Every structure is written in C-alpha cells, then in structure tokens.
Structure 1
C-alpha cells in the first residue's frame, strides 16, 4: 500500500496544488485558456505521438480490444440514459449529460500519466487507443444526441459535416494518426524533432493535472445533484467492472492492456462533460458537481483498485 500511496500522492498532489493556487491567486477563468491550449494542442498530442510511433504496428491493430472497451463504456451510457429518461423523467438532453457523467472518464488529463506511472511503458498503446478512439466516439455521440433532443437546430448534413470535421481535426486524433504512419512506415524521426516531442510529452501530465485542479476550484460546488449517488457508483465502480468483464469475454489480451483499460474506466467524470453541458445549456451546475464529487471520491477508490491489481487479487482474465 505504501507503493500505491507513493504513486498516487504526487498525482493527486498536482491536482491539489492547482486547486489551492486558483483559490489563493483568484485568477479569472480566462487565465487558464492558454494552458489548456498548450495541453490540448501541444503536450498531450506530443505524448500520444510518442507512445504510438514507437510501438510495433501489429500492436496498434487490436480492433477487438478497443471495440470491447467502447462497447462496455456505452453499455453503461445506455443504462444511465434509460434510468434518467424513464425512471427520473428527465429530458433527452439532461439524460444524455447524466449518462456521460457516469460513463465519460477523465481519460485525457488523468489517464496517460497515471497508467504510465502504474504500469510503465507497456501501457502506452492501450492508453493511446482508448483515449483517442473513445474520445472520438464521444465527440460524435454528444452532438448526435443533442440533435435528437432538439438542442441543435442545424440541418442534419451540416451537423454531420461539422462533427466529422471536429473529429478528424482534433489534435489527439491527428497526432495518433501521425504516430500510426511513423510506426507503419518504420521511418526514423529526426533527433531534433524527437527531442521536441519528448520535452512536450514530459509536460503533459503535470500541466494537465494542475489545470484540472484549477478548473475544479473555479467551479465551486453549489448544489449536490440527487443523481450523484448512482452516477458516482456507475463511474467509479460499475464502469471499470463492466470493462473488466467485457474484455475478459472478448479475448485473450495482455494483462497490462486489461489493467490499463480498467484503470482508465475507473477515473472520475471528465471535465468535458461540463463543457458539453455548458455548450448546450443543460444540467450545467449538476454536471460541474458530478465532476468535482467523483474526483474527490476517486481519491478513495483508485487506491483500492491499484491495490487489487498489484496484490494479484484481480486476475487479468476473469474467464481464462
């Protein structure tokens, strides 16, 4: 347990430092803009390119792995959507945000740093595949559901074109695609360019976690949503269990791949869920509260998961 504490303390410590810094300095939310730009357009894309470009191409073609992961994630999404829509009598738009609150983890900011610290470089490929392809799926599903809800009045073809453009031009997708090309071609990246990529990649996790802490501080908890109980359980417990079971059923995967996927599924609600809610003007305060509360609760749940993995209590395949 001491090893797990040593692993998670600096990780959550960076979030805490960002939180405290924001509360003490009281900078406006706009002050975070350039850091977020650096993270999304430079640091994290460099990390994904670095991870993917140095991986054998056969390891990058595991469609069965990513399909199983996304299937498990969207099983949780559909379950939560149905609960919100038919049991809670929420609107389609509200139900969509609630479903994302319990199934869309903070895989971009928290995932790469934590998985690589926990499992080493062997976690690089599954993390890159999950972050890029799961995010791409979310980028498609969110506007599609909002269009169904009537929150997006654009013509269907214009909406579809805009969604495809955003997915294709997203920095995570572009950097991962370039990494695929380099891995497949066997081309050597020039030393100077590789050093630049390395410098940027090293900054990804610290900057992302610090920015996450600042973001949490700038969105104080105003109300605790009634739904937070089952949304937190879904995000922090049921989602990783679902990923674990589906991957065990889907095939024989490397243990590090399975553990990386389960760890990413166990992460708290992504800040992007609040961004989506703000974009469409639905469930905003409660989405912010969901991000904050699940992040706080993950301080308790993540050590338990890592202990189960490192102690050998969680076999890599539930159905060997």
Structure 2
C-alpha cells in the first residue's frame, strides 16, 4: 500500500497545489493560455518523441493491439450513444458528447506521466500508441457525427480537409510520427538533442496536471446532470473493465501492455469533451460537470486500479 501512496502523492499534491493557487491568486482561466500552449506544443510532444524513438520498430507496429484497444473503447462509446439516442431521447449532437464523456479519457494530460510513474519505461510504447491512435479517431468521429446531426454547416470537402489537417498536424501525432521515423532508421540522437528533449519531457506531467486542475477549479459546477448517474460508473469502472476483458480475450499481449491500456481507460473524462461540446453548442454545461465529477471520483477509482495492478490482484491471464 505504501507503493500506491508513493505513486499517488505527487499527483494528489499537484491537485492540492493547483486548487490552492486558484483560491489565492484569483487568476482567470485565460491566464493559463501560454501554459497550455507549452504543454500541447512542446512538453507532451517531446515526451511522446522520447518514448517512441527509443523503441524497437517491431513493437511500434502492433496493429492488433491498436485495433483491439480502440474496439473496446468504442464499445463504450456505442453503448452510451445508444442510451442517449433511444432511452434519453436526446439529439444526435447531445448523444455524441455524452458518448465521448464515457469513452474519451484524459489520456493526453494525465496518461503518460501516471503510467510511466506506476508501470515504468516498459509502458511507454502502449501508452504512446493508445494516446495517438485514440485521439486521432476521436478527432475524426466527433466532427463527422456533428456534421450528420447538422451542427457543422461546412461542405463535405471542407469538413474532410479540416479533419485531415487536425489529425495529421496535431502535435501529439506529429511527434509520435517523428519518433516512429527515428526508431525505424535507428537514428542516433546527438547528446545535445537528447538533453533538450529530456528537459521538455520532464515538465510534461506536472505542468499538464496543474493546468488541468486549475481549469477545472475555475469552472463552476452549476448543476449535476441526471446522466452522471450512469456515465461516471461507465467511464471509471466499466471502460477499464471492458478494455481488460477484450485485450485478454484476444490474447498475445504482454501484461504490461494490458495494464497500461487498463490504466488509461480508467482515467476521468477528458477536458476536450467540453471543448467539442462548446464548439458545436451541444451538452456544454453537463460536459463540464461530468469532467469535474469524474475527475474527483477518479482519485478513488484510479487508486483502486493501481492497487489491483501493483498488488498482482489483476490476473495476468484471464482466459486459460
């Protein structure tokens, strides 16, 4: 248990510091602009490049792992989408954001730092693959469904070009692609470049978590939506459980890869869900509340997932 406390203390400490900073400094949300720019365009891309570039290329081409993980995540998406459309009788746009609230975890900001701290450098490859490919697919699915719903008035060609641009030019995906290239050609990085990348990468986890906490603290909880009753357990409990079972059923994956995917699936709803909702005017306030509540609840649920992983209580082989 002491190991779990040691893993969670840096993150819980940053949460406390972020909350105190908000209450003392009284800064507005706009004050985070340049910090978020640094995180998205410098620190996290440096971390992804560092992780991927040092990995043997054969480990980076595990298409079976990528497809299986995405299939498990989109089972959750489809479940919540159908609940929103047919049980809650919501619009396609609202149902889409609800589905993302249960399937789109905070894998970019929280994922890499927590996974590497908890599982070590061996988690680097599966974490990078999950973050990049899930994000890429989310960037495609969200505008496509919103276009079908009518929330996006652009022409199909303009929409397709914008989606392609967002996917191909996203800093996370660009840095991972550069890492793939470096790994494929066994590029020997100069010492100066290695130090520069390390310097940026070390700032990724603390800066990202601090910015996330401050953003949430500055976003008031106006109301608790009824959908929270099922979205929270689906995101924090059912999502990692489905990922674990599906990856185990397919088999042939190293236990550390499965544990990495499960840990990422257990993370709370990503702040990008609110951004998408705000962009299309769908389920905005409720998305904000969902992010805040799942993040608060994840302190307990992620701790439980870490305990199951580190204690060996999570079976390495579920199916004989």
In the superposition, the TM-score normalised over structure 2's length comes to 0.99
Identify the residue that residue 141 of structure 1 maps to in structure 2.
141
Identify the residue that residue 9 of structure 1 maps to in structure 2.
9
TM-aligned CA deviation for residue 12 of structure 1? 2.2
Identify the residue that residue 41 of structure 1 maps to in structure 2.
41
TM-aligned CA deviation for residue 252 of structure 1? 1.4
- Report whether the alignment pairs 1:31 with 2:19: no
TM-aligned CA deviation for residue 20 of structure 1? 2.0
TM-aligned CA deviation for residue 319 of structure 1? 1.2
Asked if 2 retains the 8 angstrom alpha-carbon contact of 1:19 and 1:215, the reply is no
Correspondence list, 1:269-308, <5 A? 269-308=269-308
TM-aligned CA deviation for residue 249 of structure 1? 1.3
- Report whether the alignment pairs 1:110 with 2:110: yes
Distance 2:236 2:317 in 1: 20
Asked if 2 retains the 8 angstrom alpha-carbon contact of 1:77 and 1:103, the reply is yes
Q: Secondary structure at the match of 2:120?
A: helix
C-alpha distance after superposition, 1:137-165 (max 9, x if no partner): 00000100110110000011110111001
Q: How many residues align?
A: 320
Q: Which runs of 4+ in 1 moved over 3 A?
A: none
- Report whether the alignment pairs 1:255 with 2:247: no
Q: Secondary structure at the match of 2:314?
A: coil
Unmatched tracts of structure 2, length 5 or more: none
In the superposition, the TM-score normalised over structure 1's length comes to 0.99
Correspondence list, 1:1-320, <5 A? 1-320=1-320
TM-aligned CA deviation for residue 3 of structure 1? 1.2
Distance 1:316 1:287 in 2: 35
Q: Secondary structure at the match of 1:27?
A: coil
Asked if 2 retains the 8 angstrom alpha-carbon contact of 1:109 and 1:208, the reply is yes
Asked if 2 retains the 8 angstrom alpha-carbon contact of 1:244 and 1:258, the reply is yes
Distance 1:113 1:26 in 2: 28
Question: C-alpha root-mean-square deviation of aligned residues, in Å?
Answer: 0.8
TM-aligned CA deviation for residue 316 of structure 1? 2.2
Distance 2:152 2:42 in 1: 30
Distance 1:19 1:280 in 2: 29
Distance 2:109 2:161 in 1: 27
TM-aligned CA deviation for residue 74 of structure 1? 0.4
Distance 2:189 2:179 in 1: 10
Distance 1:157 1:318 in 2: 46
TM-aligned CA deviation for residue 15 of structure 1? 2.3
TM-aligned CA deviation for residue 7 of structure 1? 0.7
Distance 2:204 2:99 in 1: 28
Distance 1:293 1:2 in 2: 26
